[in-house]
Structure 1
Amino acid sequence: MSHASTRARRLTIAVSVTAALALGATACGGTTKDDAAKEGAGNAAAGKADPNAATKKGLTVGFLPKQVNNPYFTSADKGGEKALKELGSDYKEVGPSSGTDTSGQVSYVNTLTQQQVDAIAVSAQDPGALCTALKQAMNNDISVVTYDSDTKPECRNAFVSQASGEDLGRTEVQLLAEQIGYKGEIAILSAAQTATNQNAWIDYMKEELKDPKYKDIKLVKVAYGDDDAQKSFQQTQGLLQEYPNLKGIISPTTVGIKAAAQYLSGSKYKGKVRLTGLGTPNDMRKYVKNGTVEAFELWDPAKLGELAARTAVALESGQITGKEGETFKAGAMGEFTIGKDGVISLGKPTVFNAENIDQYNF
């Protein structure tokens, strides 16, 4: 039986089972071993994880980033593609060209569902907007993994987080506070106002700032650059015009921090207004070396994409269902344990500065 015909049969079985359950009936039917494993893997509520189950091959995993031409997501998704090749499965990428196209993401989820992929890995633009489409995918026996930015827990099987939101939010405040001597006005340059991950990190930044040791630091504004380079550049300029005494900026977005660094490096504020946040070494190298930026942080996006891919395959193989406490092996990355609400954390962020930045290439 071909993979496509097997998949079509699985969809028919899923529909039939749903109808039977709606009538309060139970039924037994002859399914292939492949079908049975697939049905168990695709239903997180079933709770029948088998960590020793064989890793399935020949799967198709669709990656749906927030923006296909964003260097950060290009790196992340290449990590996913490499992992899937190693695992004997197929990779496909679709997605909007704009970093704020929520409706576009919905249509791509629907397309991947219609194309009967085995799993979807998505970085959600909005925490709720994708839910209906993702639930439909799961109803069609497709495993759903979010990475980088989450949707609601009930709308996916697992979320692969870059690091804990608390670690990221608090450490960015700590980095900037050290650079400005724990005194002065600061601002945050975020991405889209609806971005789940950005908002979670900003909440932790505000929580960290409540510590008495930051009593002389004042957060004056949160600006939004929508992960657009030109808008982020303009927002940086606007912040400095509106707050001439600004001492520092935190930009927890790779597009935002690069644009802010570009503005600062060509302005009278270079070396006077400190900038930190989340950036890639390749984007930020020249700004670290020319004195615009002292230190910033990030995780390895390729590893994030790899873990998303390996999580999707583990779900499809029935090794995990997404429940708290389950463990699985992710190749050379080691073993991971699923946390509360199906969250899997990649690890702690890495701080980049003049001493170590040349050791990295992404």
Structure 2
Amino acid sequence: MKRNRGVAVLALALCSALALTACGGTTKDSAGAQQNQQGGSATADPNAKLRTGLKVTYLPKQINNPYFTVVRNGVQQASGEIQADFKATGPSDASASSQVTYINTAAQQRQDALVLAANDQNAVAPALKAARAQGMKVVTLDSDVAADARDVFVNQVDSSEIAVKQVELLSQAVGGSGEFAILSATANATNQNTWIGVMKQELAKPRYSGLKLVEIAYGNDDDQVSFQKTQALLQAHPNLKGIVSPTTVGLAAAGRYLSSSEYKGKVALTGLGTPNQMRAYVKDDTVKAFALWEPAKLGYLATFAAAALVSGQITGAEGQGFTAGTLGKYTIGKSGEVVLGPPTVFTKDNVDKFDF
């Protein structure tokens, strides 16, 4: 991929929204794509070269979450390939408003792009809108925000596809019938709620008439809270046959509890997890199968989308395309969404083939 060797011309603008004082710069690349100073929008030029020296901030839901550490690796790799200045920051908890300060700081530091996994689609929206008004491009991944608060959303998989897959794995694990519970992340997590909504629709189909959802619990993407919620679910529902956890923290915590409890082999567990976290539980038969995408690729793709936005190659409009390094070409879909690809199902047969 060619890189723009020109020196970008930065222009400062005064802004006051949410006490943000520094504004992102405007550039005109070698192909002539000019950014709009007021809204940060641009006229797309697919032939524009990627700018070098971009300043990219990665803001995960939690800085100490193993899953988001893997995503960070992808962001960092892509940043290196496009010669961007990369930094990672974020809260230690996944509360709704915990990311606002970090968004404000990124804008004040004149970051060109923010790659964000949102804890809440609405709580962070005002800060993101103010930052975008100053020129910073916003790419969300994993969990989206309101569409008018970001430029592009990089979805790990098609939401319906991953939700349907989890119901399928659960049904297989419990033999097609019985009570089960969902152990989710936070009550306001956009992706979790989207998947759960699709799962409920799928459960209404005749082939899943034997399955009964008895409770949705929230572990707040905290290992110890998720561990305790698993215990509480088992105590509250003596006929429970399965748990599905659409969050890596919850799945690992539930696996740890079940593996050393009287419920091992009696209560099935599936959901979304990383091979490295779940390997031991697969090998000791606590978990038969679980699913996920490759998180590093998610961060990698989002970073190239951010670079394409800053460089004027895309604006986030449906139908626009860009090249994401070694992943190849991607096209923006409805509402500014880009989909990474289908999920992978991990079992005892293939879990050792993956290292993340």
Given the two structures, how large is their TM-score scaled by the length of structure 1? 0.90
**% identical equivalent positions:** 52
1:65 aligns with 2:60: yes
Q: What is the match of residue 13 of structure 2?
A: 11
Change (3 A) 1:320 1:242: same
Contact 1:190 1:223 in 2 (8 A): yes
1:49 aligns with 2:44: yes
Q: Give the secondary structure class of the aligned counterpart of 1:202.
A: helix
Contact 2:179 2:239 in 1 (8 A): yes
The partner residue of 1:174 within 168, 189, 205 is 168
Contact 1:147 1:304 in 2 (8 A): yes
Change (3 A) 1:237 1:196: same
Describe how 1:347-362 pairs up with structure 2 within 5 A. Answer: 347-362=341-356
CA distance in 1, matches of 2:8, 2:40: 24
Deviations 1:240-272 (A, max 9, x none): 111111111100000000000011001111111
The partner residue of 2:73 within 59, 74, 78 is 78
Q: Give the secondary structure class of the aligned counterpart of 2:98.
A: helix
Q: Give the secondary structure class of the aligned counterpart of 1:241.
A: helix
CA distance in 2, matches of 1:135, 1:4: 28
Contact 2:39 2:134 in 1 (8 A): no
Q: Which runs of 4+ in 1 moved over 3 A?
A: 3-7, 31-38, 40-46
Structure 2 unmatched ranges of 5 or more: 1-5, 17-25
1:196 aligns with 2:190: yes
Cα offset, 1:331, TM superposition: 1.1
1:184 aligns with 2:178: yes
Cα offset, 1:50, TM superposition: 1.2
Q: What is the match of residue 225 of structure 1?
A: 219
CA distance in 2, matches of 1:90, 1:278: 31
Instruction: Report how many residues are paired.
Output: 341
Contact 1:158 1:322 in 2 (8 A): yes
Structure 1 unmatched ranges of 5 or more: 16-30
More helix by share: 1
Cα offset, 1:168, TM superposition: 1.0
Deviations 1:66-111 (A, max 9, x none): 10011111110111011011111111111001122x3330011000
Q: What is the match of residue 39 of structure 1?
A: 35
Q: Which amino acid aligns with 2:85?
A: D
Change (3 A) 1:263 1:41: farther
Q: Give the secondary structure class of the aligned counterpart of 2:265.
A: coil
Provide the aligned C-alpha RMSD in A.
2.1
Q: What is the match of residue 256 of structure 2?
A: 262
Deviations 1:143-196 (A, max 9, x none): 110011100000000001110111111110011101111110010000000101
Given the two structures, how large is their TM-score scaled by the length of structure 2? 0.92
Deviations 1:174-223 (A, max 9, x none): 11101111110010000000101100010011011011011111000000
Cα offset, 1:11, TM superposition: 3.3
1:88 aligns with 2:83: yes
CA distance in 2, matches of 1:79, 1:243: 40
